[in-house]
Structure 1
Amino acid sequence: MERASWLPRYGNQKSFEMRSLHNNQINEVCTQPLLPGELKSTLLGAHVSIAGGFSSAARRACACGFKAAQIFLKNCRRWEEPKIDEKDIEAFVSLKEQNNIFFFGHFSYLINLCSRSKEITQKSLNALVQEIIVAEKLTLPFVVLHPGTIAVGKSEISQAIEVLCGYLNQAVELTKNTAVKIALETMAGQRGQLGWKLEQLREIIERVDSPERFCFCLDTAHLWEAGYELKTAEGYQKTMEKIALELGLPRIAAIHLNDSFSPYGSKVDRHAHIGEGTLGVEPFRRLVNDSRFLGIPMVLETPKEKGLDDDCRNLRKILSH
């Protein structure tokens, strides 16, 4: 795949339990970090907690030997504004650059730009803009966004997309002096989520005023739960061809590597450890060895009962073949 020109070129250089990502009691010591020889040039890693500051997140990623990592830009379940500590941000940027780690962000889960509530949509717009500004300070190339949730009803999807695009246009205009992109995530389709069909994501890109500010993040569990086959070699190939047709491979900015506790096509979003869900290990091995995604960061959002060691263990399952 031709690499998107806006992605940093780090590659050639030297039901996801959210509570586990923020739980201060989890093991923060990585006892068996990944070695450079294991990852080679692959941009692999995991979501890391920002507890203690952004620089602490960078140190966690370094301690695990990650070459890619995802972070939140604030508490993902509160409307409060992000906290800005310039020294912490400076330390984060220095650590990620010195260690050649591809960091990107994930927007708060409260953001819902197609809510029926004007109060929620306004709060969501404000949060989106605030987090983009923080992402720029952190020199992140993009931030992943859940497209939003609407009341169930097929007739309302087009209207919801129109509302969503209106607010996305406002966010882009309010941050027009930044280079940070918004990466729309493929969703499972649970409880009225937009973006579980690839056609919906394509429609969003077609309707926004500045499509160059948008890209996509694939989530393996969500694709599987939404009814996109990944488990067999034939199904994987057909799904990738569908993604190329609807989204365009050069727009794929990141991939979430998540197994699923839920059955195929269930629309129930439940992440599992690699190889311990209904997907199994092979789809992930296909992904990390797929030349079409060379240089694309791939991160885990899997449970962390044993903290950072769980991430290294999951990645080793993918790499051991």
Structure 2
Amino acid sequence: MKIGCHVSISGSIDKAVDNAVERECTAFQIFTRNPRGWNAKKLTSVDITNYKSKLKASKIDRFATCAHMPYLPNLATPKDDGFKKSVDALIKEVERCAQLEIPYLVTHLGSHLGTGEDVGIKRLVEGLTKAGDTKNDVMILLENTAGQKNSVGSEFEQLGEIFNQLKPTKKFGVCFDSCHAFVAGYDLRTEKKVKETFEDFDKYVGIENLKILHLNDAKGSIGCNLDRHYHLGLGGIGEKGIAAIVKFANKRKIPIILETPIDDDRDDFENIRKAKEFV
């Protein structure tokens, strides 16, 4: 199975591979730069060579790796300056992924800031389409949202509506986050409900477009819209639901990435071991 977690690049970007191997990952996700700022330090030839060499030596499949967009960009914003900065940041991040040969870049869909879903979706599609014009093989993955105020893309029907407007199609895919889906109102607490939820996802978005699965339990209850990830099996989804999601992804060879907290209850090592037990 392909399973791992979000790993740190602290020190240098190739350290991500060391951290993944240490955690016995067969998949992983990174930020390619500081996620809390707009400016990114340029990748050097040494950075790129070291990262690719370590990845090759690790035997982790390149197609089980992905990067995540930083926090500040908002592709659905109605503000012109913010929109331009966000699109520029997305394009630069796609290019950084191409340099590192990371096949997937996960992005949040953003907030329309109260101007309405139609306005937000129009902006989002415009921004994603511009980034899709980059001449490389990096696929941008749209991540379903938790349904927070002013957000778009929490309902599969709307996510599909956004996804189906994007061209070229080979440049776009989807990342499914289990915590986000659950707190947006999709029941994932039993094997039956997991099956029904993914049937609904397939109807509107298409399972064939699902390239990465973010496996997170939820701190909150179903439909609460609270984006708080929790340890596998200990949150609102619970062990039966998490186990069913793991088996679903594993059967279809979809890489599983954990974004669970690190605290006194569990760390990455324990959550990864727990996910493997569910198989």
Question: Is the structural similarity TM-score above 0.5?
Answer: yes
Deviation of the 1:244 alpha carbon: 0.9
What residue in structure 2 maps to residue 168 of structure 1? 128
Contact (CA 8 Å) 2:117, 2:150: kept in 1 or not? no
Cα distance in 2 between the residues matched to 1:82 and 1:253: 28
Deviations 1:160-181 (A, max 9, x none): 21121112111222x1x10101
1:279 to 228, 234, 237: 237
Q: Does the CA contact (< 8 Å) of 1:184 and 1:217 recur in 2?
A: yes
Summarize the alignment of residues 72-151 of structure 1 with structure 2, pairs less than 5 Å apart.
Answer: 72-101=31-60, 102-151=64-113
Is residue 232–residue 271 contact of structure 2 (8 Å, CA) maintained in 1? yes
Aligned counterparts of 2:149 and 2:10: Cα–Cα separation in 1: 30
Q: 1:315 aligns with which of 256, 265, 272?
A: 272
Q: What letter corresponds to residue 170 of structure 1 in structure 2?
A: K
C-alpha change, 1:293 and 1:53, in structure 2 (3 Å) is farther
SS at match of 1:143: strand
How much has 1:81 moved relative to structure 2? 2.5
Amino acid in structure 1 at the alignment position of 2:171: R
Q: Find runs of 4+ consecutive structure 1 residues off by over 3 angstroms.
A: none
In the alignment, which of 194, 198, 201 is matched to residue 236 of structure 1? 194
* Alignment of 1:205 onto 2:163: yes
| 1:97–1:78 Cα change, 3 Å | same
The answer to whether the 8 A contact 2:249-2:255 is kept is: no
| Structure 2 unmatched ranges of 5 or more | none
**Distance change (3 Å), C-alpha of 1:223 and 1:291:** closer
Matches within 5 A, 1:154-303: 156-173=116-133, 175=134, 177-290=135-248, 293-303=251-261
Q: Which amino acid aligns with 2:110?
A: G
In the alignment, the residues of structure 1 paired with residue 235 and residue 82 of structure 2 have an alpha-carbon distance, to the nearest angstrom, of 34
Greater shift in the superposed pair: 128-137 or 286-295 = 286-295
CA RMSD of aligned residues (A): 1.7
Point out the more displaced range, 161-170 or 127-136. Answer: 161-170
In the aligned structure 1, how far is the partner of 2:41 from the partner of 2:209?
Answer: 28
Distance 2:9 2:186 in 1: 32
Say if 1:259 and 1:277, in contact at 8 Å, map to a contact too: yes
Separation in structure 2 between the aligned mates of residue 94 and residue 296 of structure 1, nearest angstrom: 24
Q: Describe the shift of the 1:280–1:97 C-alpha distance in structure 2 as closer, same or farther (beyond 3 A).
A: same
Deviation at 1:293, TM superposition (A): 4.6
1:51 pairs with 2:10: yes
Cα distance, 1:73 vs. partner?
1.6
TM-aligned CA distance change 1:294 to 1:97, over 3 Å: farther
For the residue of structure 2 that corresponds to 1:184, the secondary structure is: strand
Q: Larger relative CO (CA 8 A, sep 6+): 1 or 2?
A: 1
Identity %: 32
**Does the C-alpha gap of structure 1 residues 291 and 104 become closer, same or farther in structure 2, counting only changes over 3 Å?**
closer
TM-score by length of 2: 0.93
Change in 2 beyond 3 A, CA 1:152/1:197: farther
Gaps of 5+ in 1: 1-41
Q: Map Cα deviations across residues 136-172 of structure 1 (whole Å, 9 max, x no partner).
A: 011111100001111346xx21222112111211122
The Cα shift of 1:287 comes to 2.1
CA contact (8 A) 1:142 1:181 kept: yes
Encode CA deviations 1:21-57: one digit per residue, 9 max, x unaligned. Answer: xxxxxxxxxxxxxxxxxxxxx1000000111121011
